[in-house]
Amino acid sequence: MADINQDNDLNMAECLVVYFDIFGFSKIVEESKNIAALTKTLLQLWDWIRAFRNKRNVIPFLFSDGGFLLYPLPDQANRGTFLTNVVQDISLLQDTYFDKGYFLRGAVTIGRVAFSHSLVVGQAIVRAYSYESNLCPGPFIMFPVGEIDKLSRSKGLIQDVEMCMLPLKSQKGVMQCHIIFPSDKAAYIQEIADRAARYTKKGPFEWGKLWYESLLFLSETFKEFKNWRIRNGDD
């Protein structure tokens, strides 16, 4: 439970932090022919997150194409169920953005966070942003095992979530991580394959390389992502 300082409306809590943003958003903006429509879609997604907040004990901080979600940690006895619910929330968040044509990239961390109604600060915030922007190599949410280990008696708290040795972006090493995906994995991997085919054929080719590398990593690492195909046409 957060400790609230009534004098300055400052909250302090041990939190699970989810940082996310839209994969390749700068390219989406560059290619957009209707920025107003794009902005309207983002605002609709914000509205969905704010409505979702009322169903879960989650505190959102949103900006542009992404944001932070803070989940104050429950008592030790309830952390297994808590982590299961958070993983389901993250998958649902990805589903909601995917339905609008967007992939999310992000990271999960755990630590003490200070926040008010408009400001959030903490080492877990910095790590989550750094993992996403500097290390995460593809359109998914990474949950480093080292972060889960910050919880006492953490062994076995996360089950039935894919785990791999994740090669980090810019060849900066390998990190043992749980990987959280959208729920419809067949549609997810096929859309990545379609984008890889489209951009490697017509450009911009650096964008094609990004999607192709994501496709290659996923199909080589997880058996459920091996069933994709190059489809004819420009779909």
Q: pLDDT for 4-51, tens place per residue?
A: 444 558 899 999 999 999 999 998 998 889 999 999 999 999 999 999
Closest CA to 178 of 207, 216, 136: 136
| Same domain, residue pair 189 and 159 | no
Of 183, 175, 181, the residue nearest 222 (C-alpha): 181
Task: Reply yes or no on whether the pLDDT at 58 is more than 80.
Answer: yes
Q: What are the start-end ranges of the H helices in 100-204?
A: 123-130, 145-148, 185-202
Q: What is residue 137's three-state secondary structure?
A: coil
Beta-sheet pairing, 120-121 with 66-72? unpaired
Q: How many separate domains does the chain show?
A: 2
Domain that holds residue 121: 3-183
Residues 50 and 60 in one domain: yes
Distance CA 20, CA 91 (A): 12
**How do residues 175-217 score in pLDDT, each as one tens digit?**
999 999 999 999 999 999 999 999 999 888 988 998 999 999 9
Shared domain for 36 and 151, answered yes or no, is yes
Facing residues of 70 across strands?
A: 17, 59
Report d(CA 107, CA 133) in Å as an integer.
Answer: 9
Model pLDDT, residue 1: 38
R_g of the chain computed on alpha carbons: 18
Are 98 and 48 part of one and the same domain?
yes
Tens-digit pLDDT profile for residues 211-232: 999 999 999 888 888 877 776 5
- If pLDDT is split at 50, 70 and 90, which confidence band does 118 have? confident
pLDDT in tens, 61-109: 999 999 999 999 988 777 778 888 899 999 999 999 999 999 999 999 9
Q: Residues 148, 115: one domain? A: yes
| 137 and 89 within one domain | yes
Please check whether residues 54 and 110 belong to one and the same domain: yes
- At 99, give phi and psi (nearest 5°): -60, -25
pLDDT at site 8:
59
Q: What is the CATH number of the domain that holds 30?
A: 3.30.70.1230
pTM equals 0.89
Helices (H) and strands (E) in the chain, counts: 7, 9
- Residue 4, pLDDT score: 43
Contact 136, 167 (CB under 8 A): no
Task: Output DSSP code: residue 8.
Answer: T
Between CA 121 and CA 16 the distance in angstroms is 13
Residue 54 DSSP code: T
Q: What is the pLDDT of residue 2?
A: 45
Angle at 198 between CA 233 and CA 37, to 5 degrees: 100
Q: What is the pLDDT of residues 128-177, one digit of tens each?
A: 999 999 889 899 999 999 998 887 555 555 666 888 888 887 667 889 99
